[in-house]
Chain A
Amino acid sequence: KNQVEQSPQSLIILEGKNCTLQCNYTVSPFSNLRWYKQDTGRGPVSLTIMTFSENTKSNGRYTATLDADTKQSSLHITASQLSDSASYICVVSAGKLIFGAGTRLAVHP
């Protein structure tokens, strides 16, 4: 069964600290993997997209990595800001999109 699992479910960090969110998937065939950011009360917004051949992609302070062999991805946030408080959703494309349940990140001052 195609699945995307994210960890942790929720995370609290202090402003200025770094954090890493994890995504494991059992999806085949694999086309690409995206990370979305969803602010409270808003729709998800795409942060990064990686194809099978890419193993890292950056978007400002967000860096996503992909290990297609182990079927794992991570999203690293550097020097967190209060505006990073949101849910982060891992999405794997395999003919159709498979969504993870998301990690809820809270950045405290």
Chain B
Amino acid sequence: DAGITQSPRHKVTETGTPVTLRCHQTENHRYMYWYRQDPGHGLRLIHYSYGVKDTDKGEVSDGYSVSRSKTEDFLLTLESATSSQTSVYFCAISEAGTGDADTQYFGPGTRLTVL
């Protein structure tokens, strides 16, 4: 998984509780992404980062926030988890944001269940 780890790998939580997922990379790639994957849907971008402290929203950002204080770490926070946020979350990294160097390398995923 290209030097990318995600923690935790599995989490069960209750509606209304805050949840933070962590992505750590050892590749020194500039770009980092958070996706969610649900049955019948393609991977959908939640947020991405193009550098330390530089982040932007993706197509499904409502209810999520992110932070990147170091090149290697990208955190995804659900401020108040809802059942609709039950999903598998993938972190990805890339050297560039567009063009031929924009191949994204994915982490192993975090399975989140919100009861």
CA distance A51 to B103 in the complex (A): 12
Q: How large is the interface on A (under 10, 10 to 19, 20 to 34, 35 or more residues)?
A: 20 to 34
> Could you say which residues of chain B place their CB within 8 Å of the CB of A101?
40-42
> Could you say which residues of chain A place their CB within 8 Å of the CB of B44?
99
Let me know if A34 and B103 touch, CB within 8 A: yes
Let me know if A51 and B45 touch, CB within 8 A: no
CA distance A51 to B106 in the complex (A): 21
Interface size on B, residues (CB 8 A): 21
Shortest Cβ gap from A75 to chain B (Å): 16
Let me know if B43 and A31 touch, CB within 8 A: no
Let me know if B99 and A4 touch, CB within 8 A: no
Let me know if B103 and A46 touch, CB within 8 A: yes
Let me know if A96 and B100 touch, CB within 8 A: no
Interface residues of B in 64-109 (CB under 8 A from A): 90, 92, 98-100, 102-109
B1 adjacent to chain A (CB < 8 Å) = yes
> Could you say which residues of chain B place their CB within 8 Å of the CB of A31?
98-100, 102
Interface residues of A in 18-71 (CB under 8 A from B): 31-32, 34, 41-46, 49, 51
Q: Which of B1, B41, B99 meets A43, CB within 8 Å?
A: B1
Closest to A5 in B: B42
Residues of B whose CB lies within 8 Å of any CB of A are 1, 4, 40-45, 90, 92, 98-100, 102-109
